[in-house]
Amino acid sequence: MKTIALPEEVYQELIELKVKQKEKTAAELITKLVIEYKKKKFIESSTIFKQRLKERKISFEELLKKSRSVREEISDEWF
Amino acid sequence: MNGSKINIVIDTNVIFMALYDPTSKAGKVINAAIENKIELYTTDTVQEEIRRVLKREIRLQDEEIEEKIRNLPILWIKKEIYAEFINKTKVKHKADKPLEALSILLNCGILSADHHFKNRLDINKFLEKIE
């Protein structure tokens, strides 16, 4: 177990949320929050990825083909 | 490398499929890793492939690329760790050998859209197993 220091208001919000969500411990709540945060970041990456593909007028199939040729290039450079 | 979770080696095409559609089967695999149900591994060659494609084709800035890579729930394994297994690989294509070498090292399957890997996992069966 480790201890972290939180400002009073953050601590209060965390405990309120723990009660509302019926989590047994603050650690369980934080674990879920971390998972949701990571999912959100992944969705953000996805949104940018799709947006840029559209802007660059590259189809997903084309991207995979280009990725394949990049793989060949790396293989030749590294091995 | 870990005691209880299912280890999987993931290929670039599955990572891009997940980025393209997070609700897809590939996206579900990424979510399973975020939820700590499975452990995803891949090679430094795959990381470099993603880096170069995001730079050249998607035109992301270096900082954005590194952030995207950091946010993927994947453990990136360096060449020095899997290199000795390259001569044990069966896949004919040289560029695919690092992935197979890593799967031999970890004794696990590969999730890839390319069908030429002998130890390729069927994504449908895999998802049934973990859901």
Q: Quick: pLDDT tens for B115-128.
A: 989 899 999 999 99
Measured distance CA(B97)–CA(B84) in Å, rounded = 11
B44 CA: distance to closest CA in chain A (Å): 10
Residue-range domains of chain B with CATH: 6-124 (3.40.50.1010)
Q: Quick: pLDDT tens for B3-17.
A: 578 999 999 999 999
Tell if the CB–CB gap between B20 and A78 is shorter than 8 Å: no
Measured distance CA(B68)–CA(A77) in Å, rounded = 24
Q: What is the rounded average pLDDT of the residues B103-114? A: 96
For residue B94, list chain A residues with Cβ-Cβ distance below 8 A. 75, 79
ipTM value for the complex: 0.91
Per-residue pLDDT, B131: 80
Rounded to the nearest integer, the mean pLDDT of chain A is 96
CB contact at 8 A, A61 and B16: no
